[in-house]
Amino acid sequence: MIHDIIAIIDEYWLLLLIGQYPNGPLGGLANTLILSALSIVIAFPFAILLAFARLSKYRVLRWPVTVLVYVTRGVPLLMLVLWSYFLVPLLTGADVPSFLTMLTTLVVYQGAFLSEIIRAGIVALGPGQMDAARALGHGWFGAMRYVILPQALYNMIPSMLSTFVATIKDTTLGYVINVPDLTFAASQVNNQLLTQPFQVFLILALTYYVICWSLTALTNVVERRITRRRAGLAAPRRQLSLITNATEQP
C-alpha cells in the first residue's frame, strides 16, 4: 500500500506537480495553488465592496448586491461553474479559458459568502465606533479603513478562514470544465493506472489536507500576533505606534 503510493509519486510526481507543462498548459499542484491564491486574493476585496454595498443607505447599491448574494448562496457552486462555462461563451461569443471561468466563478461565489461574514463583523461592532470616528471628522471611508475594518476583519478571522479553506477545496470542481489542476492531474494518473484509484486519490486527499492545514496554521499565527499586540503583550517596539509606522520619517 505505502509502497504503491511511493511508486506512484515516484513515477508521476512531475505531472502531479505542474501538469503537462512545458509541453501543455501549466497544471497540477502549481495550478491549484495559483487558482486558490488568486481566488482568495481577488474575492477578499471584492467581498468588502459587496459588504459595503449591502450596508449602504442607497437602494441602487443595496438591492442588486442583496439579490446577487441570495442567488449565489442559494445555488450549488457546480451549477454556477457549468453555467458560466456554457453560458458565457454563448452570450459573449468569446472563447474564455476554463481557468478564467473557474476563477471568476469562485470569486463571485466565495465573495458572496465572505461578504456576509464581513457584513456581520461590521454590524456586530455596533454604531458607537462609527459615531466616534465620524464625530472626530473622519469620512465614511476613512472611518471604515482606520476604525471599523481593522476590528471587524480581525473578529471575523475564524469565519473568513473557513471560507478561504472552502475556496481551496472548491477549486477541485474546476475538474468538470477541464481546468488542469491537481485533481485533473490525479485523475489522469488514475486513468493510466486503472487499478489503484484508492492510492491515487489518497495522495490527492493528503495534498489538499496539507494545503488547507497550512493556511489554517498560518492564519492562527497571524491571529495570535494581532491578539498579543492588542493585549499589549508584544515585545517592546522601537516606537509607540501601530498606525504611524507607515508614515514615520526614517
Partner 1 sequence: MTASVSAPAKDQTIRLADVRKSYGDFDVLKGIDATVSRGEVVVICGPSGSGKSTLIRTVNRLEEINSGSIFFEGQDIHAPLKGRELNRLRSRIGFVFQSFNLFPHLSAVDNVAMSPIRVKGVPAAEAHEKALKLLDRVGLREKANSYPAQLSGGQQQRVAIARALAMEPPVMLFDEPTSALDPEMVGEVLSVMKSLAAEGMTMMCVTHEMGFARDVADRIWFIDGGRIIETATPDEFFKNPKHPRAQRFLADLRH
Does the protein bind partner 1 through residue 231 (CB under 8 A)? yes
User: In whole angstroms, what is the distance from residue 81 CA to residue 155 CA?
Assistant: 31
Nearer to partner 1, 92 or 247 (CB): 247
Can you read off the three cell numbers belonging to residue 192?
Answer: 493510466
- Kindly identify the residues of this chain, within the stretch 108-147, that bind partner 1 according to CB under 8 A: 128-129, 131-140, 142, 146-147
> How buried is 150 (Cβ within 10 angstroms: 0-12 exposed, 13-18 middle, 19+ buried)?
middle
Nearer to partner 1, 11 or 248 (CB): 248
Can you read off the three cell numbers belonging to residue 201?
Answer: 486519490
Whether 35 and 171 have beta carbons less than 8 Å apart is answered as yes
Whether 171 and 133 have beta carbons less than 8 Å apart is answered as no
| Least CB distance to partner 1 at residue 217 (A) | 24
User: In whole angstroms, what is the distance from residue 82 CA to residue 178 CA?
Assistant: 11
Contacting residue, 23, 92, 195, 247, with partner 1 by CB under 8 A: 247
Contacting residue, 232, 235, 238, 250, with partner 1 by CB under 8 A: 232
Can you read off the three cell numbers belonging to residue 143?
Answer: 472611518
Residues contacting partner 1: total by CB under 8 A: 29
Q: Can you name the residues that pair with 26 across neighbouring β-strands?
A: 19
- Kindly identify the residues of this chain, within the stretch 154-193, that bind partner 1 according to CB under 8 A: 154
| Least CB distance to partner 1 at residue 138 (A) | 6
Binding site for partner 1 (CB under 8 A): 128-129, 131-140, 142, 146-147, 150-151, 154, 230-232, 240-244, 247-249
